[in-house]
Amino acid sequence: MDPEHRAELLRLVKGSPQPQVWISGFAERMGVSDAEAAAMVDELLAEGVLRRDGERLIVVEPAAFEGDERPIP
Protein backbone atom coordinates (compact mmCIF):
# COMPACT_ATOMS: atom_id res chain seq x y z
CA MET A 1 0.00 0.00 0.00
CA ASP A 2 1.23 3.46 -0.88
CA PRO A 3 2.41 5.11 2.40
CA GLU A 4 0.71 8.38 1.44
CA HIS A 5 -2.62 6.64 0.84
CA ARG A 6 -2.20 4.74 4.10
CA ALA A 7 -1.63 7.94 6.08
CA GLU A 8 -4.49 9.71 4.31
CA LEU A 9 -6.94 6.88 4.94
CA LEU A 10 -6.02 6.74 8.64
CA ARG A 11 -6.42 10.52 8.87
CA LEU A 12 -9.83 10.33 7.21
CA VAL A 13 -11.00 7.54 9.50
CA LYS A 14 -9.83 9.43 12.59
CA GLY A 15 -11.48 12.65 11.46
CA SER A 16 -14.71 11.15 10.20
CA PRO A 17 -17.73 12.44 12.11
CA GLN A 18 -19.97 9.76 10.60
CA PRO A 19 -20.55 6.67 12.70
CA GLN A 20 -20.76 4.36 9.68
CA VAL A 21 -18.08 3.33 7.24
CA TRP A 22 -18.64 4.66 3.76
CA ILE A 23 -15.83 3.27 1.64
CA SER A 24 -17.06 5.26 -1.36
CA GLY A 25 -16.66 8.49 0.62
CA PHE A 26 -13.09 7.65 1.57
CA ALA A 27 -12.36 6.61 -2.02
CA GLU A 28 -13.75 9.84 -3.43
CA ARG A 29 -11.72 11.99 -1.04
CA MET A 30 -8.56 10.02 -1.79
CA GLY A 31 -9.07 9.92 -5.56
CA VAL A 32 -9.03 6.12 -5.77
CA SER A 33 -11.63 3.54 -6.77
CA ASP A 34 -14.01 2.00 -4.25
CA ALA A 35 -12.24 -1.33 -4.74
CA GLU A 36 -8.84 0.21 -3.97
CA ALA A 37 -10.18 1.90 -0.82
CA ALA A 38 -11.85 -1.33 0.30
CA ALA A 39 -8.59 -3.25 -0.24
CA MET A 40 -6.71 -0.65 1.85
CA VAL A 41 -9.26 -0.92 4.65
CA ASP A 42 -9.07 -4.73 4.55
CA GLU A 43 -5.27 -4.59 4.72
CA LEU A 44 -5.31 -2.21 7.70
CA LEU A 45 -7.90 -4.39 9.46
CA ALA A 46 -5.70 -7.47 8.90
CA GLU A 47 -2.68 -5.60 10.29
CA GLY A 48 -4.63 -4.58 13.37
CA VAL A 49 -4.23 -0.87 12.62
CA LEU A 50 -7.99 -0.50 12.22
CA ARG A 51 -10.80 -2.35 13.92
CA ARG A 52 -14.52 -2.45 13.33
CA ASP A 53 -17.10 -1.48 15.91
CA GLY A 54 -20.32 -2.46 14.18
CA GLU A 55 -20.23 -0.47 10.96
CA ARG A 56 -17.71 2.03 12.28
CA LEU A 57 -13.96 1.95 11.70
CA ILE A 58 -11.67 2.89 14.56
CA VAL A 59 -7.94 3.56 14.40
CA VAL A 60 -6.14 1.47 17.00
CA GLU A 61 -3.70 3.63 18.92
CA PRO A 62 -0.62 1.47 19.59
CA ALA A 63 0.81 4.06 21.99
CA ALA A 64 -2.13 3.37 24.29
CA PHE A 65 -0.86 -0.13 25.07
CA GLU A 66 2.84 -0.21 24.14
CA GLY A 67 5.01 -0.75 27.18
CA ASP A 68 2.02 -1.05 29.48
CA GLU A 69 2.24 -4.58 30.79
CA ARG A 70 -0.18 -4.17 33.70
CA PRO A 71 -2.86 -6.86 33.79
CA ILE A 72 -6.33 -5.85 32.75
CA PRO A 73 -8.55 -5.85 35.85
Closest CA to 1 of 51, 48, 39, 52: 39
Q: Model confidence over 34-63: pLDDT tens digits?
A: 999 999 999 999 999 999 888 888 888 764
Instruction: Give the mean pLDDT of 6-21.
Output: 79
| Region class of 48: left (phi > 0), else alpha (psi between -120 and 50), else beta | left
Residue 68 has pLDDT above 60, yes or no: no
Selected residue with higher pLDDT from 36 and 23: 36
pLDDT over 70 (residue 23): yes
Burial of residue 22 (number of CB atoms within 10 Å: 0-12, 13-18, 19+): middle
What's the pTM value of the predicted model, to 2 decimals? 0.73
Structural domains of the chain in order of their starting residue, each with its CATH number? 3-64 (1.10.10.10)
